[in-house]
A and B are shown apart, each in its own frame.
Chain A
Amino acid sequence: MDIKIQQLSKSYGTQKAVDDISFEVKPGEILGFLGPNGAGKTTTMKMITSYLELDQGDILIGGKSVKGGDLKKYIGYLPEHNPLYLDMPVLDYLAFCAALQGMEKSEIPNRIRQMVRQCGLDLEKHKFIRELSKGYRQRVGLAQAMIHDPEVLILDEPTTGLDPNQIVEIRELIKSLGKEKTVILSTHILPEVEATCDRILIINKGKIVADGTSDLLRKKAQGQQILQLRIEDGETNAIFQRLQDLASVNSVDILNPAENRFEVQSVLNESSNRAIFELCVKNNWVLSEAIPLETKLEDIFRDLTMN
């Protein structure tokens, strides 16, 4: 089932939490929802799961509006702070969730066994939820979201509180699920979206500021090539001068005069690799380092959300 969000708006009092956003997610796609605190990520997710009502616009899941049809059984939802009934044992809790989602009684035990294995809860399954550590609680939260094998998964910060090994496991789990299902996950952790998501949506102050794959976003944010160079056997100022004279070079910075380190920014859409190499050969300089600087997703994020 695909999710279509059309001109969606939501205000809390006078404050606009979500301001006229539209996007689509297709089955087999994992959409990473990024944004600073209070950007409207959670609000949007709550509206998709029909916990909050929409002010304006519409959300279509599989072609049906969340306002009318009862779509909740097609959605698996992991809320932000992962609320759980702490006074229930893990297995009872999963059975409770499965029954609430309208699963057949005969299917429930098998499905629970499967989820317990998939989420790595085997050793903890007989414990009360209050006895579990944060990471295991998070796994229970994921298990309850997926228990009825929903076509749409909405995960609000699914990996908070997990240790690095668990994070990798959960990411793999989400990735494998994402092959057939429609997944939206929100996070603050930027490497996470790069590792898990097919597409990234950055939202700030209720508006979409970027939408695309991480590569696409990188290109968009940084058209200019940046090289970090170290050139030996030459005099700093002379090298600096010659570098600046190159046609393809936009600007040069001296990073460390003692070691002859420079940062060279090329003109938009041009590469200075060859020109620099030839310059060094001509002057008998030794080009000992040339590191292309990639724009990090962090920088893109900061660029787009700080203003």
Chain B
Amino acid sequence: MSPVGVIAKREVASYFDSLIAYIIIVAFLGFTGFFTWLYGSDIFMRKQADLAAFFGVARWTLFFFIPAITMRQLAEEKKTGTIELLLTKAISERQIILGKFLSCLIMVGLALLFTLPYYITLTQLGNVDHGAIISGYFGLLLMSAAYISIGLFASSITNNQIVAFLVALFISIFFQLLFDIMSSGASGFMAELFTTLSLSRHYDSIVRGVLDSKDIIYFVSLTLFWLMLAELNIRTRN
């Protein structure tokens, strides 16, 4: 197994050993299930066989849950000193970051996998636009990748998990909400810039079923940017 795989496997196992995995999955299913099927503008109110309600609530649920998954990743290693153990093994900083990134993505992927019954139920209710749903899930994964990388960066700058959690939320809220708001307040180039930076704009267009290379490039580069910063952070140690 590659070193990235070894790291990812350990992290996933540790999520399940410490019950974090179960709590996250149950809470995620509880929230999204409640708002998708039971409350507010749920599927029955909309009278449309789509998962727009789910994609709306999952965006916010993951927004809060991902920092909770990522906060311990590097912060705890730094606090207990195990980072020294990792870094003196035959493995590079990049492989460590990628392994941890992968483990978080697997956790989110698992949570999303358990929402498949939503989709199966939906197909019994009416004519479903399968393409839109697949691209919706794809959008959720892309968004999660971006927030995981922000979370890993936040975890790499501190050895306190709470600080890592709050910093991750603070950075993420700009992409989730604030850039969007700022873009409507600004004009000209700034408005353009904030619109481009706003994660929700890109997410919405993917969830609508439009797979534009522009959006994919946005998510990929956002993810790589924060991952590189995280790598840089654990590379400099003195």
Counting chain B residues whose Cβ lies within 8 A of the other chain, the interface size class is 20 to 34
- Please encode chain A, from 15 to 54, with 1 for each CB lying within 8 Å of some chain B CB and 0 for all others: 0000000000000000000000000000000100111110
Cα separation A91 to B81 with both chains bound (whole Å): 20
Q: Which residues from chain B contact A277 at a C-beta distance below 8 Å?
A: none
Minimum C-beta distance from A22 to chain B (A): 22
Supply 28 A–B pairs (Cβ within 8 Å), ascending by A. Answer: A46-B84, A49-B88, A50-B88, A51-B87, A51-B88, A51-B237, A52-B237, A52-B238, A72-B89, A72-B91, A75-B88, A79-B81, A79-B85, A81-B81, A83-B84, A85-B10, A85-B14, A85-B82, A87-B14, A97-B89, A99-B6, A100-B3, A100-B7, A100-B89, A101-B89, A101-B90, A102-B3, A144-B85
A residues lining the B interface (CB < 8 Å): 12, 46, 49-53, 70, 72-73, 75, 77, 79, 81, 83-88, 92, 96-97, 99-102, 105, 144
Cα separation A83 to B18 with both chains bound (whole Å): 19
Say yes or no for B17: interface residue by CB 8 A criterion: yes
| B98-156 interface (Cβ within 8 A of A) | none
Contact assessment for A87 and B17 in the assembled complex, using a CB-CB cutoff below 8 Å = yes
Contact assessment for B1 and A83 in the assembled complex, using a CB-CB cutoff below 8 Å = no
Contact assessment for A83 and B238 in the assembled complex, using a CB-CB cutoff below 8 Å = no
Minimum C-beta distance from B237 to chain A (A): 7
Cα separation A288 to B13 with both chains bound (whole Å): 72
Chain A residue at minimum C-beta to C-beta distance from B17? A87
Cα separation A87 to B80 with both chains bound (whole Å): 12
Cα separation A73 to B90 with both chains bound (whole Å): 5
Q: Which residues from chain A contact B14 at a C-beta distance below 8 Å?
A: 85, 87-88
Q: With A72-B90, A101-B89 in contact, is A79–B84 under 8 Å at CB?
A: yes
Contact assessment for A87 and B82 in the assembled complex, using a CB-CB cutoff below 8 Å = no
Q: With A99-B6, A105-B1 in contact, is A83–B80 under 8 Å at CB?
A: yes
Q: Which residues from chain A contact B82 at a C-beta distance below 8 Å?
A: 83-85
Q: Which residues from chain B contact A92 at a C-beta distance below 8 Å?
A: 13
Contact assessment for A72 and B88 in the assembled complex, using a CB-CB cutoff below 8 Å = yes
Going nearest first, the 8 A-B pairs with the smallest beta carbon separation are A83-B81, A73-B90, A100-B89, A83-B82, A49-B88, A99-B6, A72-B90, A77-B88
- Please encode chain B, from 219 to 238, with 1 for each CB lying within 8 Å of some chain A CB and 0 for all others: 00000000000000000011
Minimum C-beta distance from A38 to chain B (A): 16
Chain A residue at minimum C-beta to C-beta distance from B95? A100
Contact assessment for B1 and A102 in the assembled complex, using a CB-CB cutoff below 8 Å = no
Chain A residue at minimum C-beta to C-beta distance from B6? A99
Q: Which residues from chain A contact B10 at a C-beta distance below 8 Å?
A: 85, 88, 96
Chain A residue at minimum C-beta to C-beta distance from B96? A100
Minimum C-beta distance from B108 to chain A (A): 21
Chain A residue at minimum C-beta to C-beta distance from B7? A100
